[in-house]
Structure 1
Amino acid sequence: MKSPEQRVVFAGVDGRTTTDLPEWYQAVTEDPDPVSFAEAIRQLPRAATTPVAYHNPHTDEWVETNRFSAVVEPTRLQTRDDEAASDPLFNVPTDSYAIINPTDVYAPLEDVLEATTYDERPLGEVAFGEIRQYRGGGEVHMDVMFDGLAVELPGEREPITMGLTSGYDYFGGHAVYVEGFARDTHCANSIRALTDRKTVKHIGDVGDFREWWETILEQLELVVNDLHAFIIDAQDITVDITNVPFDLVEFYDLLGFPAYLARRAAEDARAESDDPFEIDMWALHSGATYALTHFFSGKEGTALDGYVRIANDILFNPDATLETVTHTFEQRAQEVTTAEGQTGLEQQSALAQLERVSSDVREKAHRFESREQQLRDRFEALVD
């Protein structure tokens, strides 16, 4: 991802907790001196509204309007223009826009983390992560993880640490959002969108965030056991690259990854597999998250979210993944048909190979479908 303008690492919910960063996280972060979550939140730029006016070129007058307001960073207005490090103006929305400042959203999370325990420890004592700022602090994204809330996989492999990813902006592009998140400590890959994304728009009465956070944390605890089961099952479904009409880079390309990400994903999937020619769906998913975490060149937002959905389908919906690969391959095969409109023998053989592989996956995919539905049912029960 594009480097943020500012990155702050935190450990512990506030100054009353003594929390150290996990060793694996210290090894991958550039900030050796974290602050508390509460302090990091209160360092973020705030927003306020101020009246705006438009220029009447006929009278050379400025006319104020109450239909719009300027969303600004108030402390920057106190600095002369030639001294300001950042532009104080974020946005000029309509009067229906409701400002949601960082403490409005995340101060309730601080309270919930103190009140919520896991393995007899308050989550506030084991919380850590980072906050990233873009566009002068008007766009913010963060990862909040919990040391010890983890998926333990068989063998000596490092655990997968669970958490949340959240963010907002003052430009009208991002509502306040949060969703389940995990970090694979084995390779520092980020696994995003583990729960349904919850959002609060900057419109009207935004309500109380405390209950919002409580529900989200309950969802996250449900995901821990299910994620473990998904991974174990995904390791049982393999794709024999020697029996399909494409190589590993093309597999990711057929799913919709751009060439530079497809290449990186394939390299990691091979490296993580015992057999570089017969690769299971967990390794294929890991390759995708590796490429997105370490090499995605775009911004956090819509484009990244789309690739995350592709990656997650490899793990949570392998049948749909193979359907996508097959459909894209068929489309490309049609583009190279003969002048008589007949698909060449090579393409016909390739499609038959794909159908056999897809059929093998479908026989095992029902476990994923039933587990995913059970998980969604439990999520809905929490919200109702």
Structure 2
Amino acid sequence: MQAEADGNTEAESLFHIPTDSYSIINPVDVYGPLEEVLREETIDGTPLGEVMFGEIRRYRGGGEVHMDIMFDGLEVRLPGRSDPITMGVTSGYDFFGEHAVYVEGFAQDGYCSNTMRSLTDKEVIKHVGDVRNFRTWWEELLAQVELVADDLFEFIRDAQDIDLDFSELPFTVTEFYTLLGFPDYLAERAAGDAEANAASPFEIDMWTLHSGATYALTHFFQGKEGASLDQYVRIANDILFNPEGTIERVEQSYEQQLEADGDDGSQASLAGERALASIERVSDDLQEKVEQFEEREDALRERFQEAMG
């Protein structure tokens, strides 16, 4: 391949084999069977390939490719919204990376164009020449996505019933996201969206807070697919699927912040204790609703295992 036009006269190979244990997996071996599955599997009697849409992103001369594909009709519809949440998968091939192929459940909220990632466990295949029966693999993964579509409405409905009253909490909506681990620029975008879409900017439910996080990641994340994005996606998903864990993380971060400020029994220390107590009250109020989240998640994971054979 021709070298980049940056003044270098010496041609440089784009593709290379970094170690002796590296064995190339041809992307055709992976995605060819997907094409077959999309022709033969149906939704409401129509082949998936005919209702598929999405986008492909290429980097490094095509050596790294990511794609989001969704299926019209495989969707979740929320009351009061004309646009559905459409389900699909996000997948990628990376010649250079530690793994050759990844795939995971994915959805796009048509109401706001937000993307919801990591809706199933990420399946990864490394560059070790592991050429398996990819047709069966794709069939099982798409079955997982259908299972998520069946349950996602219930998770959202439950999350809409859990409100955080920020007038009673010792942090702002922006600080809620920074305490969870979002960088400031994402926290500000997430908070702005959540406040704009809540009935009250001071009382916001967990689904709206989750949507704020996915809005920030979809439209303002400064980077590309990788470990950093995955970390923030997990934080966003926990707001929806694990509200108790989310509040615990906020409480721990707030407590660490107080300790770092070096409270010494002063008035500030007493204020900090009162602030922690207000967060703990929110956590206590969640307890009665936590069981239904856990039961639904456990049941969904069991069905995942069955779908994967």
TM-score, length-scaled by structure 1? 0.76
| Residue deviations 1:30-88 (CA, integer Å, cap 9, x gap) | xxxxxxxxxxxxxxxxxxxxxxxxxxxxxxxxxxxxxxxxxxxxxxx49999999x954
Question: Is the 1:336–1:343 Cα contact (8 Å) retained in structure 2?
Answer: no
Corresponding residue for residue 137 of structure 2: 212
Compute the displacement of 1:126 (Å): 0.4
Corresponding residue for residue 266 of structure 1: 191
Task: Indicate the structure (1 or 2) with the bigger Cα radius of gyration.
Answer: 1
Aligned to 1:283, which of 208, 213, 231?
208
SS where residue 141 of structure 1 aligns?
Answer: strand
Q: Structure 2: state its 5+ residue gaps.
A: none
Count of aligned pairs: 307
1:269, 1:338 → 2: CA distance? 32
| Residue deviations 1:247-301 (CA, integer Å, cap 9, x gap) | 0000000000000000000000011111111100000000000000000001210
2:65, 2:308 → 1: CA distance? 26
1:82, 1:254 → 2: CA distance? 46
Cα root mean square deviation, aligned = 2.2
Question: Is the 1:337–1:343 Cα contact (8 Å) retained in structure 2?
Answer: no
> Are 2:31 and 1:106 equivalent residues in the alignment?
yes
Q: Structure 1: state its 5+ residue gaps.
A: 1-76
Aligned to 1:309, which of 213, 225, 234?
234
Question: Is the 2:163–2:203 Cα contact (8 Å) retained in structure 1?
Answer: yes
Q: Compared with structure 1, are the counterparts of its residues 170 and 339 closer, same or farther at alpha carbon in structure 2 (3 Å cutoff)? A: same
> Are 2:243 and 1:318 equivalent residues in the alignment?
yes
2:195, 2:12 → 1: CA distance? 46
Aligned to 2:278, which of 350, 353, 368?
353
SS where residue 274 of structure 1 aligns?
Answer: coil
1:292, 1:300 → 2: CA distance? 11
After TM superposition, the structure 1 stretch with the greater mean CA deviation from structure 2, 339-348 or 154-163, is 339-348
Q: Compared with structure 1, are the counterparts of its residues 349 and 99 closer, same or farther at alpha carbon in structure 2 (3 Å cutoff)? A: same
1:159, 1:219 → 2: CA distance? 19
Structure 1 or 2: larger helix share? 2
Question: Is the 1:167–1:176 Cα contact (8 Å) retained in structure 2?
Answer: yes
Question: Is the 1:333–1:343 Cα contact (8 Å) retained in structure 2?
Answer: no
Corresponding residue for residue 302 of structure 2: 377
Question: Is the 2:70–2:89 Cα contact (8 Å) retained in structure 1?
Answer: yes
Aligned to 2:292, which of 358, 367, 370?
367
2:126, 2:218 → 1: CA distance? 27
Amino acid at match of 2:184: A
SS where residue 349 of structure 1 aligns?
Answer: helix
Question: Is the 2:99–2:127 Cα contact (8 Å) retained in structure 1?
Answer: no
| Residue deviations 1:293-352 (CA, integer Å, cap 9, x gap) | 000001210000000000000000000000000000011112234346997111011011
Compute the displacement of 1:94 (Å): 2.1
Q: Map 1:9-88 onto structure 2 (within 5 A).
A: 77=1, 88=13
> Are 2:117 and 1:192 equivalent residues in the alignment?
yes
Aligned to 1:131, which of 56, 65, 74?
56
1:236, 1:87 → 2: CA distance? 57
2:190, 2:90 → 1: CA distance? 22
Q: Compared with structure 1, are the counterparts of its residues 374 and 340 closer, same or farther at alpha carbon in structure 2 (3 Å cutoff)? A: same
Q: Map 1:167-246 onto structure 2 (within 5 A).
A: 167-246=92-171
Q: Compared with structure 1, are the counterparts of its residues 115 and 278 closer, same or farther at alpha carbon in structure 2 (3 Å cutoff)? A: same
Aligned to 2:70, which of 141, 145, 163?
145
Compute the displacement of 1:153 (Å): 0.8
TM-score, length-scaled by structure 2? 0.94
| Residue deviations 1:105-154 (CA, integer Å, cap 9, x gap) | 11110100111111111101001111101112111110011111110111
Q: Compared with structure 1, are the counterparts of its residues 340 and 281 closer, same or farther at alpha carbon in structure 2 (3 Å cutoff)? A: closer
Question: Is the 2:99–2:125 Cα contact (8 Å) retained in structure 1?
Answer: no
| Residue deviations 1:210-242 (CA, integer Å, cap 9, x gap) | 011000011111111111110011000010010
Identical aligned residues as a percent: 61
SS where residue 308 of structure 1 aligns?
Answer: helix
SS where residue 239 of structure 1 aligns?
Answer: strand
